[in-house]
Structure 1
Amino acid sequence: MTALSTHARIAVIGAGAMGAGIAQVAAQAGHSVLLLDNRPGAAAQAIEGIDRQLGKRVENGKLSAESRNATVARLHAAQTIEALADCALIIEAIVENLEVKRDLFRQLEDICDEQCVLASNTSSLSITSIAAQLRHPQRLLGLHFFNPAPVMALVEIVSGLASDPALAACLYDTARAWGKKPVHTRSTPGFIVNRVARPFYAESLRLVQEHAADCPTLDALLREAGGFAMGAFELTDLIGHDVNYAVTCSVFDAYYGDTRFLPSLIQKELVDAGRLGRKSGQGFYSYAEGAQRPQPTSLDSERTVTSCVVEGDLGIANGLIPRLREQGVEVVQRDGAGLLRVGDAVLALSDGRMACQRAREEGLRNLILVDLAGDYAKASRLAIGCVADIEPAALADGVALLQRAGFVVSRLSDSPALVVLRTVAMLANEAADALLQGVASAADIDLAMRAGVNYPQGPLAWADSIGLTHILKVLENLQASYGEERYRPSLLLRRRVAEGGTFHD
C-alpha cells in the first residue's frame, strides 16, 4: 500500500495546539482537511491561528502568499462528527483519557465506512487498549506527532496487537509524503522516544540530588561536551515539569515500578510548588523579567604545561591527543594501561567507577577521571572527577593540560561515570532493551531519538562508536556502585559484547 492520495480527505479531531498543527501539516501537503472540536468556535479559531502563523512566514519571506492561501483554503471547520463520514483518514488529538478516546472511535466506526483509517495521536496510551472494543480494531493505529507538529520532523507509526501492517505501511508512506521522518514502533509504554529518553532527565536529576554539581554546570556539560541541544534542566523547564513528570510516572507505572523509570522527588517538589518551568515563570531557573541565568562553575589553573605522557590506548578519549599537539604540547607515547600523565597527575577516561575506588584498586595517586565528550575534537567543555585527597598541584596540572587543549573544565564530586558518559550509557541501555523487545528496529530507534528530541547521535550508533565493551563496563560499575537494578545492563548489550558485534550488525 502506498501513501494516501492528496485527493483523500483528512479529518483531525481536537483543535488544540497539537490538532491544529497536524491539520496544518496535512493541508500543506495538499489534502482537504476537516477540523472538529467539541468547543463551539474552537476549530474556526484554530484555522484563523494557522492563517496568522503562515502570514508571518510570508512576511519573513519563508513562504509564498500563494502557498499560504492554498493551505488555508484546504482547511475547513466541521460542525458535527457526521461531517467526517467520507474521510479516508481521521486523526484524533484530544484529551489523554482512555475511555474518552474509546468512545470517540466507537462513534467513528458507526459513521465511517470500513476503508477509513483511524489514528490516535496519543503519546502515552496503549493503541491495543484503545482499539480493543472496536468491531474492526485492525484499522486503528497510532500516528504520534511531536509538538509543534509543523516543525518537528518525527512521526511514530504505532501498531497495536490487532493493527493491520498494510495500514501501518500506508501511514508511514503518507507521513513521509507530508515531509516527515516516520518510524515504526509497537504499542508499548512510551513507544520509542518517551521511553528511551527517560534516562536523559533521570541521570541529571539524580546527580543534582546528590549535589554532584549544580543545574547550570550539568546543563552546560550536556550541551558543550555531550553535544545535546539543551541540558536536562533547561529542557524540562521548556517542556513543563507537570508534563515531563506525568510522562515519567506513566512509564514507571506501566512497567510495574521498574526502577529504571523511577520519578524524581526533586521534580515532584517543583510540580507540587507550581514551579512548572517557563510557562509559570519559575522552574529550575527563573524566567521573571530581568532574571539572570546562573553560570556554570569551572576550574582555572595558572600552571604551565608543555608535555605529557600517554600510556597505552585512551580509547575514545584518544581524540584528546591531536588537540594537545595542535596547541604545542609534546605528547610522549608509550605502552601502558590507558592513562595520561602530566606532572604528578594521572588522567583516565571514566569507566563508571568512582575515582576513589579506581585509585585504590589500581594503585593510582592523584587520579583525575575524565568524562565522555560527544566529539573530543569539537567539545568546548569537559567534566572531571577526582580523588578527595588529590594534591592541589596535581589537580592544577591536570586542569592546565585540559585547558591547554582548549577545554573549559568543570569538576563534579566523585560520582560514578560523571555526567555525559553516564547519560549516554543509560540511553544506549534503554534503547538496547527496546531493540531486544522488538519495539522498533535499531535504525528507527536511532532516527527517532535524532529527529524527535534532537540528539546529536542515535544512542545505539553512539554506543557502537564508543565500544560496547566499554558501555557494558560502565553500566556494571554503575550498578555495583549504587547496588540498584536501575543500572542493570541489557541482555542484548551483554549478548552483543559476547558475540563481538554491534547494535547495527
Structure 2
Amino acid sequence: MSALDTSVVVAVIGAGAMGAGIAQVAAQAGHPVLLHDSRPGAASAAIEGLGVQLGKRVEKGKLDPAQREATLARLHAVQALDELADAGLVIEAIVENLDAKRELFARLEAICTADCVLASNTSSLSITRIAAGLARPERFVGVHFFNPAPVMALVEIVSGLATAPQVAASLYATARAWGKAPVHASSSPGFIVNRVARPFYAESLRLLQEGAAECATLDALMREAGGFRMGAFELTDLIGHDVNYAVTCSVFDAYYGDMRFQPSLIQAALVDAGRLGRKSGQGFYDYGPSAARPVVSELRSGLRIEACEVEGDLGIAQGLLARIEAHGIKVSRAPSRVEPAPTGRCGSGLDPRCGHAVIRVGDAVLALTDGRLASQRARDEGLHNLVLFDLALDYATAGRIGISWSADTTPAARDQAVALLQAAGLVVSPLADVPGLLVMRTVAMLANEAADAVLQGVATAADVDLAMRKGVNYPQGPLAWADAIGPTQVLAVLDNLQAAYGESRYRPSLLLRRTVAEGRALHD
C-alpha cells in the first residue's frame, strides 16, 4: 500500500505540544496542514511557536532557511471543524477522554468525505471503543506518536477490530514517508510500548521497596551495566509520577488486575504527596537549588588479584573473562565441579548445565545470577562464599556491575570477589540478596511481556523490538536481548523468580516456554 500523496490535506486537532509536533512533522513532509484547537487563538499561537523553534534550528545550522519558510507556509490555523471538510487525513490529539474523542469523531464523520481517514493519537484508549459508534469504523485507526513528535522516530499504527487492513497499511507507509519508524499493533491495553515497558519501572520500584539498594545505586546500575539511558527513578521523575502512575493504573485495570502490571505503593505515595518529579521540584530525587548530589553505593578492595579459575561456560557473561584477561589477570579453565540441584534440573525444569559456570578467586565463588537467591543457590549447589553478579548489556564495556552474596560468605571472600571485578575495571555496587538482582530480572521481565504481546497477536517480534528501541530508547530490543542471553536461561530466571515470590507476576509466557521446548530463538 502506498503512502498518502503530499497533496493530501492533513488536519490535526489539538494544538498542544503533541498536536503541534504532529502538524510540524506532516508539514515538513510536504503536506498542507490545518491545525485546529477549541481554545481561541491556540492554533495560531502554536504555529508561531513552531516558527520560533524552527528558527533556532536554522541558527544552529540544522535546518535550511528555505525549508523553514516552506514548512510554515504549509501550516494554517483554522477556527471551526467545518473548515476540515477537504482533509484526507485527520489526526486527533486532544484530551485522553473516551467520551470527548467519540463525540469529536462523530462530528468529523459528518463533516469529512467518506474516504477521509480518521486517526487518534491516543496512548491508552481502545481504538475499537472509540470507533464503535462511527458509521465507517473501517476508516478509523490509531496513529500514536511519541513526544516530542518531531524528534521521536516511533509511530504505533494501531488497528481496531473494524480497521480496514489497507487503511493501516497506508498510514504505515505514510509514517515511513514522513521519516518515522512505524510499527503495526492491534488495539489492546498499552498497545506495544506502554505495555511492554511496565516491568522497567516495576522491578526497580519493587527492589526499592524491598530495601535492595537506594534509588541512586539502582539507577546507576541500569545505566552503567544495563546500558539504558536513564534508570527507572530518574525517568519517572522526568515523566512525572502523576503521568507514569496513571498509565500503570490504566494498564493494570484494563488487564483486570493482572499482577504483572501492579502499581507501586511507593509511587502512589509520591503522587499523594504532590512529589511529581522534576516539574514539582521533588520526586525520588530533590531538584531544589541546595539539593545534595545522590550517593551511589560502591564496594572497594585493596587486594591485588593475579589469577582466577573458570569452570564451565559463562555464556552471555563470557565477555567478562576476556576483560579480566585483558587487565593482566591469569585465567585458567576447568570443567564444572558444581553438582546440579537435587532435582537435577537447575531449579527450573530446564537444561541441567545452565547456571553452573563459576569463577573461583581465592575463597570466593562468583556466578551469574539465575534468578535464585544467593543463599538458596549456595544450598542447592553446595557452594560456600557464593557471590552472584548481575547481567550487563556488554561485559566488555560496562562501567559498573551489581553483586549480592550468600549468608555464609565471609568478608574476606567478598573482598576477593570485589577485587577481581575491580581489577577488571568495573565499579562494584552491592545489592541485598534478592532474586535475579536488578538488570537480569528487569530484562527477563521485559522479554517476558514482549513475548506475551507477540503470543497474543499484538505485534510481531520484530515490531516489538523496534518499538522498544525507537519509542523508549532501549539499548536492545527485549526479545533480541533474550535471544542473546539464551531463552533457556531467561526461562530459568523467571521460573526461579516465581518460585521465590510465589506470585503469578513472574509466570513465564507460554511463547517463551514453547520457544525453549522447540529449541529455537524468539525471533525465529
Which TM-score applies when normalising by structure 1? 0.99
1:387 Cα offset (Å): 1.1
Q: Structure 2: how far apart are the matches of 1:422 and 1:293?
A: 28
AA aligned to 2:447 is A
Q: Distance in 1 between matches of 2:408 and 2:514?
A: 39
CA distance, structure 1, for counterparts of residue 287 and residue 36 of structure 2: 35
Structure 1 counterpart of 2:269: 269
Query: 2 CA distance for matches of 1:58 and 1:270?
Result: 41
SS, match of residue 279 in structure 1: helix
Please show how residues 77-156 of structure 1 align to structure 2 within 5 Å.
77-156=77-156
1 CA distance for matches of 2:315 and 2:502? 27
Aligned residue in 2 for 1:291: 291
Q: How does 1:213-228 map to 2 (within 5 A)?
A: 213-228=213-228
1:273 partner amino acid: A
Amino acid in the other structure paired with 1:66? A
**Matching residue's letter, 1:345:** A
- Structure 1: 5+ residue runs without aligned partners? none
- What residue is the counterpart of 1:470 in the other structure? 489
**Following TM superposition, by how much is the alpha carbon of 1:295 offset from its aligned partner in structure 2, in angstroms?**
2.3
Q: CA deviation at 1:289?
A: 2.0
Quick one: percent identity of the two aligned structures?
Answer: 71
For the residue of structure 1 that corresponds to 2:278, the secondary structure is coil
Q: Which amino acid aligns with 2:374?
A: A
Does residue 1:375 correspond to 2:394, yes or no? yes
Classify the secondary structure of the residue corresponding to 1:157.
strand
Query: For residue 31 of structure 2, what is the amino acid of its counterpart?
Result: H
Q: Deviations over 1:416-445 (max 9, x none)?
A: 000000000000000000000000000000
Letter in 1 for 2:401: L
Distance 2:224 2:169 in 1: 39
1:234 and 1:413 map into 2 onto residues whose CA distance is 21
SS in 2 for 1:369: strand
Question: Paired residue for 1:438?
Answer: 457
Whether 1:362 and 2:362 are equivalent positions in the alignment is no
Q: Deviation digits for residues 1-33 of structure 1, max 9, x if unmatched?
A: 310111111000000110000001001111110
Trace 1:262-411 onto structure 2 (pairs within 5 A).
Answer: 262-336=262-336, 337-411=356-430
Q: Provide the rounded CA distance (Å) in 1 between the counterparts of 2:508 and 2:237.
A: 30
- Secondary structure of the residue aligned to 2:372 is coil
Matches within 5 A, 1:36-47: 36-47=36-47
Distance 1:223 1:74 in 2: 41
Quote how far apart the aligned CAs of 1:403 are.
Answer: 0.4
What's the counterpart of residue 457 of structure 1? Answer: 476
- Tell me, in whole angstroms, the C-alpha distance in 2 between the residues paired with 1:42 and 1:390: 64
| Deviates most, 309-318 or 241-250 | 309-318
Q: Find the partner of 2:508 among 489, 496, 502.
A: 489
Q: CA deviation at 1:189?
A: 0.2
- 2-structure distance, mates of 1:295, 1:440: 41
| Offset at residue 290 of structure 1 (A) | 3.9
Q: How does 1:191-206 map to 2 (within 5 A)?
A: 191-206=191-206
Q: Distance in 2 between matches of 1:18 and 1:154?
A: 14
Q: CA deviation at 1:73?
A: 1.0
Once the 2 structures are TM-superposed, how far is the Cα of residue 324 of structure 1 from its aligned partner? 0.7
Match of 1:502, as an amino acid?
A
Amino acid at match of 1:480: A
Match for residue 238 of structure 2? 238
Runs of 4+ in 1 over 4 A off after TM superposition: none
2: CA distance between counterparts of 1:252 and 1:331? 48
- Secondary structure in 2 aligned to 1:170? helix
1:57-107 alpha-carbon deviations (Å, 9 max, x no partner): 111111111111111111110110000000000000001110110000000
Cα distance in 2, alignment partners of residues 420 and 11 from structure 1: 43
User: What is the CA-CA distance between 1:361 and the residue it aligns to?
Assistant: 1.0
Give the Cα–Cα distance (whole angstroms) in 1 for the partners of residues 157 and 30 of structure 2: 21
- In structure 1, the residue corresponding to 2:333 is in which secondary structure? strand
Q: Take 1:269 and 1:305, find their aligned partners in 2: how far apart are those partners?
A: 46
TM-score, normalised with respect to structure 2 = 0.96
Kindly provide the CA deviation profile for residues 120-142 of structure 1, in whole angstroms up to 9, marking residues without a partner as x.
00000000000000000000000
Once the two structures are superposed, residues 204-233 of structure 1 have per-residue CA deviations (whole angstroms, 9 ceiling, x without a partner) of 000000010000000000000000010000
* Aligned counterparts of 2:218 and 2:512: Cα–Cα separation in 1: 27
- CA-CA distance at 1:446 after TM superposition: 0.2
Whether the 8 Å CA contact 1:285–1:293 is kept in 2: the answer is no
Which amino acid is the alignment partner of residue 42 of structure 1? A
What amino acid maps onto 1:260 in structure 2?
Answer: R
Give RMSD over aligned pairs.
0.6
